Amino acid sequence: MTESTFETVTYEKCGQIAYITLNRPEVINAFNLQMRDDLSEVLDAVRWDPDVGVVLIKGSGDRGFCAGADLSEFGSAPSQAAARHARWERDIFGVLRNLTVPTVALLHGHVIGSGVELALLCDIRVAADNAVFSMPETYYGLIAAAGGTQTLPRMVKQGRALDILLAGRRLNASDARDTGLIQRVVKLDDLEMESERIARHLTEIDPALFGAIKIALATARDLPLADGLAHEQRLSIMLDRGVAGT
């Protein structure tokens, strides 16, 4: 087990399993600029570490996974152009989404705003039975900005996504599963054990195969069916030749 502690994030490696823990429990792991910078470093380390086979993302403390963006720092950008530059200069949400190893979100307690968005950028979502999900941005005159307006309607039905985003609908764990926002609910006490069981299973998938699956799923989402089918064939041939998913 190796461990690196940043100001807002803890990074541990245990064999092939990498644990990223959001670590501001006093504010339910609210996402601030420091956390963005810390996560950026951690995700870069993960991205280039051939020993990492799977990533688990969780929140520290009893109260929840993540309470959303830390609004005390909002409005600090000097201009819209600077804000736009900062958004794409270090696109940690894109890095997380495009990791070539499987990612698993462990969700408990409050999962709010960018907490939901982080979870939606992972490949697998496991929720404890005490998890509660909401995206209250419009209540405060904001909109989601870590992909939520796009990833949510691609995961749940359009009307439900609009209900969550516009009406601030709050979902408990079983509602969230029925809606399709998450796929697994376990007892809070079993969250770590169950997630590690899934993680060990995921490490058994050949990395090249996993990479190809991730690309194929993105293709299924973005391309017309005929193009997607052709792409799937190409990926399959490349896999057989040992060159896909890299």
Partner 1 sequence: MRNSVNQSSDNSTARVLTIPVGDRAAFEDACVRAATDTEVRAAMIVLTGDGIGDNSVEPGMPASIGALLVPVIAGLSGRIDDRVLELALAADIRLCDSDTTFALTAVTESGSGRLPSDGGTQRLPRIVGPGLATDMLLTGRRIIAEEALRAGLVTEICPAGESKIRVEQLSKEIASNGKSAGRFAKEAVLKGSDMPLDQSLRLEADLAILLHTDPERAEGIDAFNGGRHPGFRQDDGSK
Among positions 53, 102, 147, 245, the unique one binding partner 1 when judged by CB under 8 A = 147
Residue 63-82 contact track with partner 1, rule CB under 8 A, x = bound = --------xx-xx-x--x--
Euclidean distance between CA atoms 202 and 218, whole angstroms: 19
76 neighbors 225 (Cβ within 8 angstroms): no
Residue 111-140 contact track with partner 1, rule CB under 8 A, x = bound = -----------------------x-xxxxx
168 forms part of the interface with partner 1 (CB under 8 A): yes
Euclidean distance between CA atoms 137 and 114, whole angstroms: 9
Residue 12-51 contact track with partner 1, rule CB under 8 A, x = bound = ----------------------------------------
Euclidean distance between CA atoms 119 and 58, whole angstroms: 9
Q: Are strands 2-5 and 171-172 parallel, antiparallel or unpaired?
A: unpaired
Neighbours of 33 (CB within 10 A): 14
According to DSSP, the residues that pair with 125 across neighbouring strands are 105
Euclidean distance between CA atoms 153 and 227, whole angstroms: 23
- Closest approach of partner 1 to the CB of residue 68, in Å: 10
In this complex, which beta carbon is closest to partner 1, that of residue 38 or of residue 70?
Answer: 70
Among positions 4, 150, 183, 236, the unique one binding partner 1 when judged by CB under 8 A = 150
Please identify which of the residues 7, 26, 89, 137 carries the catalytic annotation: 137
Euclidean distance between CA atoms 92 and 47, whole angstroms: 11
Q: Show contacts with partner 1 in window 88-107 (CB under 8 A).
A: 88, 93-94
- Closest approach of partner 1 to the CB of residue 152, in Å: 8
232 forms part of the interface with partner 1 (CB under 8 A): no
239 neighbors 245 (Cβ within 8 angstroms): yes
Cβ-Cβ contacts under 8 Å for 202 (sequence gap 6 or more): 53, 54, 102, 104, 124, 210
174 forms part of the interface with partner 1 (CB under 8 A): no
- Closest approach of partner 1 to the CB of residue 98, in Å: 10
243 forms part of the interface with partner 1 (CB under 8 A): no
C-alpha distances (whole Å) from 65 to each of 90, 103, 149 are 23, 15, 20
222 forms part of the interface with partner 1 (CB under 8 A): yes
Point out which span in 19-27, 123-131, 155-163, 236-244 binds partner 1 (CB under 8 A): 155-163
C-alpha distances (whole Å) from 31 to each of 63, 72, 77, 181, 200 are 15, 10, 16, 20, 28
Residues that bind partner 1 in the complex, under the rule CB under 8 A: 71-72, 74-75, 77, 80, 83-84, 87-88, 93-94, 134, 136-145, 147-154, 156-163, 165-170, 178, 218, 221-223
Active site residues: 117, 137
